[in-house]
A and B are shown apart, each in its own frame.
Chain A
Amino acid sequence: MALTGRDAGAVPASPPGLGTGRNSVFRRMSSFGRSHETWAWKWTGWAAAAVPLFALTFTVIVLLVKAWPSIRVNGGFFVSGSAWKPGNTYGATVYTHGVAHPLGSSYGAWPLIVGTLQTSGIAVVLALPISLGAAFALTEQLPSWLARPLAFAVEILAGIPSVIIGLWGVLTLGPYLAQHVYPIIADHVPDVPVLRYFRNPVGHGEGLATSGIVLALMIIPIITATTRDLFVQVPPLPKEGAIALGMTNSEVARRMTIPWVRSGIIGATVLGLGRALGETIAVAMVSGAALNTIAPNIYGTMGTIAAAIVTQLDSAYTDGTGFAVSALAEAALVLAAITIAANVIARLIINRTSRNGAPVGRGI
């Protein structure tokens, strides 16, 4: 049939069988493949993205199930009591609230909780100003040929495994601080209520102060890297305007740059805090890993929850009733709760402060 004018550009009716041109079987197969390829990407991607959620819920569920005996028996004593007692694991089994546990066992994790919060607090207090200063130095003050290798040095610090930092802390930093730095502080601090904490005895370098310093070193790269990225994103025009008006670099930094990225800095700090709370190996090596003590002064040995879990898990399995493992599971649950709470608080702070748009700061 001849094609009239109107039909001239139309697609011819597709003949049966293999087809030709746009409707050939091969074309249809590849479009079949293409739309199904999108489907494949989407659903494997969805499954992969679901893995962290699945892992998180699995973790929480396993911890709750394992910790339940300990929660039942220890109750509130777990977070308020100061004695981590496995009891007589070769002795009689006693039943409390229907849970079997060795005679005399009761687990109080308050010193561990205090130790965790103390070391992480010291780490953040030390790391925040140093990270901000280093980030300023790297982005605004040093020429780029110097800044790039130094930024790489910060990345190296981030990549060093924590067990090696712990090793260095035990073998090098701890003794150095105990012989050269701590005595100077301890001998010259007056006997006044708050500063009393810094007096002698100084110990041998394994304790709260060294743990705090080592943890600070481990979280500095995180905060520095994030802050560097934030500083680079501050728009140059307001800063240049401020400099044109005669503000010094420090004033520009204090009144323009930092307020602009304040919520990001808070987020980065809490990220570092989360890392410090969960750091296990370096702190276990450098803190002395004590179970039942709160450090009597800033140089004293103590323990953190994470260090206790890693050092006690082996011996916990000698408890045939499984109660010791349950206590460690509850400790892990407390630690996970603290870390997740810190994370969520950070997210809320970031959302709240960033909703106001980019703040310009009070001094302008």
Chain B
Amino acid sequence: MSMMTRDATGTRGRRMRELAFRGMTLLALVLVVGPAAWILIGVVARAVPHWQWSVLVTPTSGATGGLSQDIVGTLVLMAGVLVVAGTLGILAGVYLSELAPPTSSGRAGGRLFRSATEVLSGVPSITLGFVAYVALVVGLHWGFSLLPAVIVLSVMVIPYIAKSTETALSQVPTGYREGAEALGMSPSYSLRKIVIRSAIPGVVTGLLLALAIAGGETAPLLLTAGNTSSYPTGALLHQPIGYLTYPVWTFYNYPSDQAHYLAYDAALILVVIVMVLLVVSRVIVARTQRHAEGGRG
């Protein structure tokens, strides 16, 4: 028979706490995934009833028309960020991970740069946009244009790229580097051919995430890229550029239904772009993990 010890009652209480714990963690997960689904479904549900494919090819005129110049503008901005922040971020990540000379106490080098990078990633985007507006758009008389927008977005995004590059490089097995050195390869050759090549999936994932962040930014672009209804001309200065977050921010509380529909359509296109980037980066991660599990690391 069961012994009526204190453990028996304790067991019942502990079992209930365990059930409560399981229930609460699952509830927490629902509270995270539920709103995410709600947001996506809400965006689609508002945009689809009034969707017209002409929105993709017609530019905006006033608060009606289409969104084509904003789509092109967003893609141009993302390309600019890819080139500028991608190069600088990857180089910075490589430096911080591989090439910074150790300090005199033997710890990893580049600590000042790394701390600055982390602090920079915490600075709000509105602050960087404000500084770019005051210093570049107004101060240097560049006006609302492509160059200050790309500069601001790149500065915002370089910490993410540098950190993901550093992480990807740190996951390259040390055996690769040691083997390369044993075979007599110079540091730069092994860096280029072995180490970076193995880290490319992680680096690409970081780049895609950075593009998603840059494409979804509003506040710094409001202050550096301005707004326009004409396509980007490729001019770096004095020519404002449109971007998809602008109609969402400005048109959502205009008193016209057409403006609202444009806002929802822009939200839908943005969501599609971001989802494509996220899915592609997930596929890359899954593909390389399969390789890592299948091969011998």
Interface string of A36-65 (1 = CB under 8 A from B): 011011101111111111011011001100
Stretch touching chain A among B48-56, B64-72, B119-127, B232-240: B119-127
* Residues in B whose Cβ lies below 8 Å from that of A347: 115, 118
Q: Report if A251 contacts B (CB, 8 A).
A: yes
Distance in Å: Cβ of A138 to nearest Cβ of chain B: 7
Distance in Å: Cβ of B87 to nearest Cβ of chain A: 7
Q: Contact at B134–A278, with CB atoms within 8 Å?
A: no
Q: What is the bound-complex CA distance between A335 and B127, given in angstroms? A: 8
* Residues in A whose Cβ lies below 8 Å from that of B43: 164, 167-168
Q: What is the bound-complex CA distance between A45 and B20, given in angstroms? A: 52
* Residues in B whose Cβ lies below 8 Å from that of A163: 216, 218, 245, 248-249, 267
* Residues in A whose Cβ lies below 8 Å from that of B57: none
Q: What is the bound-complex CA distance between A131 and B28, given in angstroms? A: 7
Q: Report if B1 contacts A (CB, 8 A).
A: no
* Residues in B whose Cβ lies below 8 Å from that of A100: none
* Residues in A whose Cβ lies below 8 Å from that of B120: 52, 55-56
* Residues in A whose Cβ lies below 8 Å from that of B118: 343, 347
Considering the complex, which residues of chain B in the window 40-98 have a beta carbon less than 8 Å from any beta carbon of chain A?
Answer: 40, 42-43, 46, 87-92, 94-96
Q: Report if B287 contacts A (CB, 8 A).
A: no
Q: Report if B141 contacts A (CB, 8 A).
A: no
Which label, helix, strand, loop or mixed, suits the secondary structure of the B interface?
helix
Distance in Å: Cβ of B293 to nearest Cβ of chain A: 13
Distance in Å: Cβ of B3 to nearest Cβ of chain A: 16
Stretch touching chain B among A17-25, A90-98, A151-159, A356-364: A151-159
Q: What is the bound-complex CA distance between A133 and B31, given in angstroms? A: 10
Distance in Å: Cβ of A309 to nearest Cβ of chain B: 5
Q: Contact at B33–A150, with CB atoms within 8 Å?
A: yes
Name the one of A51, A130, A278 contacting B122, with C-beta atoms under 8 angstroms.
A278
Q: Report if A83 contacts B (CB, 8 A).
A: no
Considering the complex, which residues of chain B in the window 273-297 have a beta carbon less than 8 Å from any beta carbon of chain A?
Answer: 274-275, 277-278, 282
* Residues in B whose Cβ lies below 8 Å from that of A328: 130
Across the interface, name the chain A residue whose C-beta is closest to B45: A172
**Known interface pairs A48-B87, A155-B278, A217-B35; 16 further A-B residue pairs with C-beta atoms within 8 A, sorted by A's residue number:** A38-B186, A49-B117, A63-B127, A130-B31, A133-B28, A141-B22, A159-B212, A159-B277, A160-B216, A161-B216, A161-B217, A161-B218, A168-B39, A248-B15, A249-B18, A347-B118
Interface string of B90-114 (1 = CB under 8 A from A): 1110111001100000000010110
Name the one of A56, A141, A170, A277 contacting B119, with C-beta atoms under 8 angstroms.
A56
Q: What is the bound-complex CA distance between A77 and B117, given in angstroms? A: 33
Q: Contact at B216–A162, with CB atoms within 8 Å?
A: yes
Distance in Å: Cβ of B33 to nearest Cβ of chain A: 5
Q: What is the bound-complex CA distance between A249 and B159, given in angstroms? A: 37
* Residues in B whose Cβ lies below 8 Å from that of A344: 119
Q: Report if B144 contacts A (CB, 8 A).
A: no
Interchain residue pairs with CB less than 8 A apart (20): A41-B91, A41-B94, A45-B96, A51-B88, A59-B128, A62-B134, A63-B130, A63-B131, A130-B31, A134-B31, A141-B26, A155-B278, A157-B36, A163-B248, A164-B270, A275-B122, A281-B245, A310-B219, A313-B223, A332-B131
Q: Report if B8 contacts A (CB, 8 A).
A: no
* Residues of chain A having any CB pair with chain B under 8 Å: 31, 34-35, 37-38, 40-42, 44-53, 55-56, 58-59, 62-63, 66, 129-134, 136-138, 141-142, 150, 152-157, 159-165, 167-168, 170-173, 217, 220-221, 224, 248-251, 253, 271, 274-275, 277-281, 285, 306, 309-310, 313, 325, 328-329, 332, 335-336, 339-340, 342-344, 347
Q: Contact at B252–A133, with CB atoms within 8 Å?
A: no
Q: Report if B9 contacts A (CB, 8 A).
A: no
Q: Contact at A332–B186, with CB atoms within 8 Å?
A: no
Q: Contact at B26–A152, with CB atoms within 8 Å?
A: no
Considering the complex, which residues of chain B in the window 175-203 have a beta carbon less than 8 Å from any beta carbon of chain A?
Answer: 186-189, 191-192
Name the one of B28, B133, B245, B253 contacting A161, with C-beta atoms under 8 angstroms.
B245
Name the one of B32, B162, B217 contacting A49, with C-beta atoms under 8 angstroms.
B162
Q: What is the bound-complex CA distance between A148 and B289, given in angstroms? A: 13
Q: Report if B158 contacts A (CB, 8 A).
A: yes
Q: Contact at B32–A224, with CB atoms within 8 Å?
A: yes
Across the interface, name the chain A residue whose C-beta is closest to B36: A157
Q: What is the bound-complex CA distance between A213 and B38, given in angstroms? A: 14
Q: A48-B88, A160-B36, A336-B123 known; A38 and B249 CB under 8 Å?
A: no
* Residues in A whose Cβ lies below 8 Å from that of B96: 45, 49
